Structure 1
Amino acid sequence: MTPLEDVRCVLFDLDGTLIDSATDLGQAADEMRRLRGLPSLPDAAYRGSAGSGARGMLKVAFGLSPDDAGYAAMRDEFLQRYEQRMMHTTRPFDGVAALLADLVATGRTWGVVTNKAARFTLPLTASMPLFGTASVIVCGDTTPHLKPHPAPLQEAQRQLSLPARQCIYVGDDERDMRAGIAAGMRTVAARYGYLGVGVCTDDWVCDAAIDSPLELLKWLDCP
Structure 2
Amino acid sequence: MPEVIFAGPTGRLEGRFHPAKQKNAPIGIVLHPHSQFGGTMNNPIVYQLYYMFAERGFSVLRFNFRGVGRSQGIYHGQDELSDAAAALDWVQSINPDARACWVAGVSFGAWIGMQLLMRRPEVEGFISVAPPAGKFDFTFLAPCPSSGLIVHGDSDRVAQPKDVQALVDKLKTQRGIVIDQEIIPGANHFFDGKTDVLLKTCGAYLDKRLAKVNAA
TM range (shorter): 0.3 to 0.5
Q: Point out which structure has higher relative CO (alpha carbons under 8 A, 6+ apart).
A: 1
- Give TM-score scaled by structure 1 length: 0.42
The structure richer in strand per residue is: 2
Which is greater in Rg? 1
The structure richer in helix per residue is: 1
